[in-house]
Amino acid sequence: MKRIVVWILGGLCTLVYAQSTELYRDPAAPVEERVEDLLSRMTLAEKIALIGGTGTTTRANERLGIPELRMTDGTAGVQLDRAPSMAFPAPIALAATWNPDLVRRAGRGMGREVKGHGRHVLLAPCVNIARMPMSGRNFEAYGEDPFLAARMAVAAVQGIQEEGVAATVKHFAANNQESERMFVDVAVSRRALQEIYFPAFKAAVREAGAGCVMSSYNKVNGRFASENEYLLKEILRDEWGFRGVIMSDWGATHSAIPTARGELDIEMPTGVFMNMDSLQAPIADGRVPLAAIEQKARHILTLIFKLGLFDHPPLARNPTLINTPENRQIAYEAALAGMVLLKNERNILPLNPKRVKTIAVIGPNARVARTGGGGSSEVNDLTPVTLLDGLKSRLPEVHFEFAQGAILDNTTEIDPIAAKNLFTDRSGKQQGLNAEYFNNIDLVGRPILQRIDREIHFTWDENGPGSGVARDHYSVRWSGYIKMDATAEYILAIVGDDGMRLWLDDQLLLDAWYPHGAMKRAAAVRLQKGRYYQVRFELYEKAGGAVATLGWDIAREALYREAAATARKADCVILAVGTTSALETEGRDRPDLVLPNGQDQLIERVAAVNKNVIVVLTAGSPVLMDRWIGQVPGLLDAWFPGTEGGHAIVDILVGNANPSGKLPMTFPHRWEECSAYRTYNRFKERSYYADDIYVGYRHFDKYHLTPLFPFGFGLSYTRFAYSDLHVTREGDHFTVTFAIRNTGTTRGEETAQLYVGAGQSSMDKPEKELKGFAKVRLDPGEEKQVKLLLTREAFAWYSEQFNAWQVDPGLYRISIGASSRDFRLEAELNLE
């Protein structure tokens, strides 16, 4: 018995001694020392296991007690396997608030939701610049201007990380289109990177201390971002001093040795290249230094320690942190502050409930809450508020009539064009279209199958179309003529996957020639009775099954008639139009800037019978408006407004709140006016940033183009006067002061914007650049002083010759105003 007691006591002493020597388990020890102690105890296999993900986590280590690092998607709320959560306004709407304090609060709310789902890392914010207006993920970021995006990024990161959650700034870098995003090579100057595409990342890392950075899918100047030495080492690690975790986007790693030698720390979602089989031999023979692997593990372990994961029990899901009243209030305030009043003729807004007895609520976004865009940011929203919900709750005495107007959901449902309207040639003797099937996706070479298809309405499984056609990687061309029995406007539509396009009389009418799931594209055309119109429909399939339909969207006319009849008998119309998470989404760009599915015509038909139409736009990016904007007196851009969007929209419409949002993007009259138009999708697997530093309003200024709505624009229900501009030098910076007075009769908020322009310069520089802003709340008649600081950075440009920032001496113009095209005060200063 005595021996047993001695043995037990001896074992306990040994255990206590062993634990006392495990420095990494001591919460009081410095993080750096704990990391080094733990790293010294890990085998090579354990270190390599740490740098390859397991889906949405890193790999736990039971032997050493290393916990997993749990991640979740969601730039506007948690997106985790469709688990219910709460949607904050889309980041583009947050940018439209021009209110970093509010964005910081939204970041904290998102951090709480992340913890509520038992996660440690949020894959947000996205800070990529909106180079072109139809990029599929514009809604996920903060607009076209690097200064505004940087201020929003800092606020978001600070808010998220104040809740003990690591923020992940993405996607580094030049990820500005979804078309060919997995492999497109972005050719861009270092000056444009430094002045336009880097600043938001730089601020998030250096000012806000972001815990993680995610590399992008694309190549930058010939190298994939995940193994790009210039991006990850020269800029991120060396120039900015980033010591956090660099992870790949999901599936964005393309090599073992170059990636292992580089700065990427974690390959996500799994270690396809970062694994023992791929790396053991290169480490053994010196092609991959062991120190490079240990450095990656060091970064990951440091984050785990900083988040306190070693010292606290694993986070369990906590539903009390999800969809809380506090978070809903933040979402409401952010939605309210981000909405932009674009037009208010005849002071149609705010609506007076005492004078409006019947309101026609029309449109596909009226009784569906379009809280956000699609893809990895899409939130499975809990109890979202629709526009119709908001109207009924805020205006109980008003009578509402609803009409759908257009259909944006179930977009693949169309009726095929009947064989009686399709002909192989102009003789009209043979019904149907000529079909050519190719065993490649490029419609090249000799067709493997030729036949006549009487109607184009197919659903092919993974066995393909048959008759010698490949099961995958095939393409089809249908050609012939359409002839109609009556002269009318018809809606021609196509459905297909992966790529599809339609020509009518040799004019490209519909184009979605890129990989995608089943989708519909449609366009209105006027066809004459008895005339033969040449038609060509092309489609390719890369993998899996496929669908293909050439048809009519014939339900639209009935919807238009119902909408017009509803509008005709109402005092006013609230017309809710826009896009959806299926149309603005990760993985593809919009094919154009047109409101989809005939909504332009819907607005025209409604405006023709009721002159009191207020259009409420729910979308994540600009849309074209020239066709109808002159016919409606009111226009409110609500973006994707999140869970509380319905309440916020109505409170703006009825004057419970004064609109104060300002555009974070330029709205063009035409896509052809935009900086990316000349080079976007013009070269296979290559994107030339020929616009260089001239993105957004910089481009419109350089070429003297008048936008539909300029960057920074937004109306209010009150008026503001600017006065008393003073610019004084204080050491190495300038202080700019001025006054703003509310000269109207309603309390409101004004965002004063400060732009800097070089008076005379030998260098090619933008006419002006945003370098400061302040959002000021004022009661009627109230005046406040505004103070903004300009450091030397505000006057700097990046020299590729010296790979450094430079400040030129000379005159600079300081412009203060309500938008990039509405200046109220100006002054000059001289830099020596």
Say yes or no: 110 and 232 in one domain.
yes
- Report the pLDDT averaged over residues 173-178: 96
- Report the pLDDT averaged over residues 587-611: 93
d(CA 832, CA 162): 41
Query: Is the distance from CB of 752 to CB of 722 less than 8 angstroms?
Result: yes
What pLDDT does 557 receive? 83
Query: Which residue, among 603, 604, 634, 639, has the nearest Cα to 621 in the 3D structure?
Result: 639
Domain range for 352 is 329-407+557-702
Neighbouring residues of 316: CB distance < 8 A, sequence distance ≥ 6: 118
Bridge partners of 519, per DSSP, are 496
Report DSSP state, residue 611. Answer: S
What pLDDT does 554 receive? 65
Q: Residue 707 domain-assigned? A: no
Ramachandran quadrant class, 164 (left: phi over 0; alpha: psi -120 to 50; beta: rest): left
Query: Is the pLDDT score of 1 beyond 60?
Result: no
Neighbouring residues of 277: CB distance < 8 A, sequence distance ≥ 6: none
Say yes or no: 641 and 531 in one domain.
no
Query: Is the pLDDT score of 10 beyond 90?
Result: no
Say yes or no: 279 and 149 in one domain.
yes
Say yes or no: 543 and 571 in one domain.
no
Query: Is the distance from CB of 136 to CB of 590 less than 8 angstroms?
Result: yes
For residue range 452-509, list pLDDT tens digits in order: 999 999 998 767 787 789 888 899 999 999 999 998 878 899 999 888 999 999 999 9
Query: Is the pLDDT score of 15 beyond 50?
Result: no
Q: Residue 523 domain-assigned? A: yes
503-507, 731-735, 749-753, 819-823: segment of lowest average pLDDT: 731-735
Query: Which residue, among 325, 331, 324, has the nearest Cα to 645 in the 3D structure?
Result: 331
Query: Is the pLDDT score of 82 beyond 90?
Result: no
CATH value at residue 398: 3.40.50.1700
Which of 671, 702, 733 is the last residue in one of the domains? 702
Query: Is the pLDDT score of 771 beyond 50?
Result: yes
d(CA 344, CA 208): 39
Query: Is the pLDDT score of 4 beyond 70?
Result: no
Which of 655, 671, 702 is the last residue in one of the domains? 702
Q: Residue 152 CA to chain centroid, in angstroms?
A: 14
- Report the pLDDT averaged over residues 71-84: 93
Structural domains of the chain, count: 4
- Report the pLDDT averaged over residues 91-105: 98
d(CA 143, CA 711): 10
What pLDDT does 251 receive? 95
- Omega of the bond prior to 350 within 30 degrees of 0, cis? yes
- Omega of the bond prior to 269 within 30 degrees of 0, cis? yes
d(CA 57, CA 131): 32
SS3 259: helix
Query: Which residue, among 832, 721, 703, 733, has the nearest Cα to 778 in the 3D structure?
Result: 721
Query: Is the distance from CB of 765 to CB of 791 less than 8 angstroms?
Result: no
The CA–CA distances, whole Å, from 657 to 176, 371, 448, 522 equal: 34, 20, 64, 38
What pLDDT does 676 receive? 97
Query: Is the pLDDT score of 92 beyond 50?
Result: yes
The CA–CA distances, whole Å, from 582 to 137, 576, 588, 780 equal: 12, 17, 10, 43
What's the CA angle centered on 590, arms 585 and 596, to 5 degrees?
100
Report DSSP state, residue 234. Answer: I
d(CA 121, CA 212): 8
Say yes or no: 429 and 398 in one domain.
no
Say yes or no: 484 and 536 in one domain.
yes
Query: Which residue, among 132, 134, 224, has the nearest Cα to 173 in the 3D structure?
Result: 224
First to last CA, the chain: 90
For residue range 197-210, list pLDDT tens digits in order: 999 999 999 999 99
What's the CA angle centered on 542, arms 536 and 546, to 5 degrees?
65
What pLDDT does 411 receive? 60
Say yes or no: 402 and 422 in one domain.
no
Burial of residue 210, with CB atoms counted within 10 A of its CB: 0-12 exposed, 13-18 middle, 19 or more buried: buried
CATH value at residue 137: 3.20.20.300
Torsion angles phi and psi, residue 277, rounded to 5: -60, -40
d(CA 675, CA 747): 38
Say yes or no: 518 and 621 in one domain.
no
The CA–CA distances, whole Å, from 149 to 78, 210, 817 equal: 21, 15, 19
d(CA 106, CA 364): 28
Say yes or no: 58 and 112 in one domain.
yes
Neighbouring residues of 491: CB distance < 8 A, sequence distance ≥ 6: 522, 523, 524, 525, 552, 553, 554, 556, 598
Q: Which two tokens stand for residue 298?
A: 């060091």
In a 13 Å sphere around the CA of 710, the CA atoms on its Cβ side amount to: 19
Say yes or no: 229 and 129 in one domain.
yes
CATH value at residue 512: 2.60.120.380
DSSP letters spanning 2-53: HHHHHHHHHHHHHHHHHHHH-GGG-TTS-HHHHHHHHHHH--HHHHHHHTB-
Q: Which amino acid is present at 247? A: M
Report DSSP state, residue 168. Answer: E
Four-point Cα dihedral 53, 57, 61, 65, nearest 10: 150
Query: Is the distance from CB of 196 to CB of 695 less than 8 angstroms?
Result: yes
**Where in 43-93 does DSSP place strands (E)?**
71-73, 84-85
- Report the pLDDT averaged over residues 162-177: 97
For residue range 630-661, list pLDDT tens digits in order: 999 999 999 999 999 999 999 999 999 999 99
Q: Which residue has the tokens 């249908």?
A: 478
Bridge partners of 180, per DSSP, are none
DSSP letters spanning 267-323: BSSB-SSSSHHHHHHHHHTTSS-HHHHHHHHHHHHHHHHHTTTTTSPPPPP-GGGSS
Neighbouring residues of 240: CB distance < 8 A, sequence distance ≥ 6: 202, 205, 206
For residue range 58-68, list pLDDT tens digits in order: 999 999 999 99
Query: Is the distance from CB of 78 to CB of 85 less than 8 angstroms?
Result: yes
- By percentage, how much of the chain surpasses pLDDT 70? 97
Report DSSP state, residue 451. Answer: E
Active-site amino acid positions: 249
d(CA 824, CA 751): 13
Torsion angles phi and psi, residue 292, rounded to 5: -65, -40
Please, what's the b/e burial string for 620-629 (b: 16 or more CB within 10 A of its CB; e: otherwise)?
bbbbbbeebb
d(CA 216, CA 247): 9
Q: Residue 15 domain-assigned? A: no
Say yes or no: 89 and 226 in one domain.
yes
Given pLDDT bands bounded at 50, 70 and 90, which one contains residue 414? confident
Report DSSP state, residue 431. Answer: B
Q: Residue 18 domain-assigned? A: no
Q: Residue 11 domain-assigned? A: no
- Report the pLDDT averaged over residues 182-207: 97
d(CA 169, CA 204): 7
**Where in 302-397 does DSSP place strands (E)?**
340-344, 358-362, 380-381
Which helix (H) or strand (E) segment is 335 a member of? helix 325-338
Ramachandran quadrant class, 380 (left: phi over 0; alpha: psi -120 to 50; beta: rest): beta
Given pLDDT bands bounded at 50, 70 and 90, which one contains residue 552? confident
- Report the pLDDT averaged over residues 20-28: 87
Query: Is the distance from CB of 473 to CB of 441 less than 8 angstroms?
Result: yes
Q: Residue 796 domain-assigned? A: yes
SS3 817: strand
d(CA 212, CA 304): 12
For residue range 286-339, list pLDDT tens digits in order: 999 999 999 999 999 999 999 999 998 888 899 999 999 999 999 999 999 999
The two beta strands, 474-483 and 433-438, are: antiparallel
What pLDDT does 792 receive? 93
d(CA 175, CA 197): 9
Bridge partners of 492, per DSSP, are 523, 552
* pTM flag (> 0.85): yes
Q: Residue 709 domain-assigned? A: no
Query: Is the pLDDT score of 442 beyond 60?
Result: yes
For residue range 511-525, list pLDDT tens digits in order: 888 777 788 888 888
d(CA 173, CA 186): 10
What pLDDT does 13 receive? 38
SS3 206: helix
CATH value at residue 731: 2.60.40.10
d(CA 823, CA 375): 39
d(CA 561, CA 544): 40
Q: Which amino acid is present at 605? A: R
Query: Is the pLDDT score of 17 beyond 70?
Result: no
Mean pLDDT, the chain, rounded, equals 93
Which of 519, 554, 589 is the last residue in one of the domains? 554
Say yes or no: 547 and 561 in one domain.
no
Query: Which residue, among 388, 799, 444, 366, has the nearest Cα to 602 in the 3D structure?
Result: 366
What pLDDT does 2 receive? 42
Q: Residue 228 domain-assigned? A: yes
